[in-house]
Structure 1
Amino acid sequence: MNKSLKAALLSALIYPGVGHLSLKRYISALVFIIGFSIPMILLFKKIMEKANQVVAQIEHGQIGMDVSSLSNALNTSAAGSIQMLDVYSYLMLAVWLIALLDIYRVRNH
C-alpha cells in the first residue's frame, strides 16, 4: 500500500488529520485535528447538557420513564439546540471532507 492511499484511509476512517501526520505534514494535521475536534467537543457538550436536563426532569417527577415521555422531553424546547447540533455536525463533515480533498491534493503534487 502506498503512502498516499494509507494517508487517505487514515484520514477517512480513523480521524481527519491523521493521514497528514503519516505524510509528515504536521501543520496541516494540527489544523484538521483541531478543526474537527472543536465542533465534536461542542457537539458532545450540547448533547450532555440536554441529557442532564432530561435526567433532572425525571428526578423531579416532571416526566415519566416511558419512551413517549422521554421522546417528548428531548424534542420540546430543543429547536435551538437541535439547530446548533446540526451546525456542529456540518462543520465536522466539512472538515472531514476538506481533509480528504487535501490528501488527494498532496498526493497529486
Structure 2
Amino acid sequence: MKTSVKAALLSAFICPGAGHFYLKQRGVGNLILVTAIASLSYLCWHAYQRAQLISEQILNGEIPLQLDAIYSAVTQAPVGNEAIWINLATAGFILTWIIGIADAYRLGRRQDSE
C-alpha cells in the first residue's frame, strides 16, 4: 500500500493528525490533533453541562418524569451565542479532520514520488 493511502487512512479512521505522525510531520500532526481535541472537548463539555441542567430540572420538578417531556428538553435546540459556539466547534472539528486527511494524502504523495 502506498504511503499516501496509509497516511490518509490513518488520519481518517484512527484520529486527526495520525497520518502526519506516520509521515514524521509532528508539528502539523500536533496542530491538527490539538485543534480536533479542543473542538471535541468543547462539544463534550457542553453536552455534559446540558445533561446536568436537565437532570437538575427533573429533580426539582420543573420537568415531569415522563419520556416525552424529557425528550422535548433534550432535543431543544440551543439559542443565541450558545448555538454559534456549538456550530463553530462542530465545523472546526469536521474541517480539521477533512483537512488532516487531505494534507496527509498530499504529503504522502510527495514522499511516494521521491
Instruction: Give the TM-score of the pair, scaled to structure 2.
Output: 0.85
Aligned residue number for residue 38 of structure 1: 38
Letter in 2 for 1:9: L
Count of equivalent residues = 109
Q: Distance in 2 between matches of 1:13 and 1:39?
A: 18
Aligned-pair RMSD on alpha carbons?
Answer: 1.7
Letter in 2 for 1:106: L
Q: Which runs of 5+ in 1 are unaligned?
A: none
Deviation by residue 1:14-69 (Cα, 9 ceiling, x = unmatched): 11101111111110110110011101101111111111000000111111222221
Letter in 2 for 1:34: V
More RCO (CA 8 Å, sep 6+): 2
Deviation at 1:101, TM superposition (A): 1.4
Instruction: Give the TM-score of the pair, scaled to structure 1.
Output: 0.89
Runs of at least 4 residues of structure 1 off by over 4 A?
Answer: none
Aligned residue number for residue 59 of structure 2: 59
Q: Which runs of 5+ in 2 are unaligned?
A: none
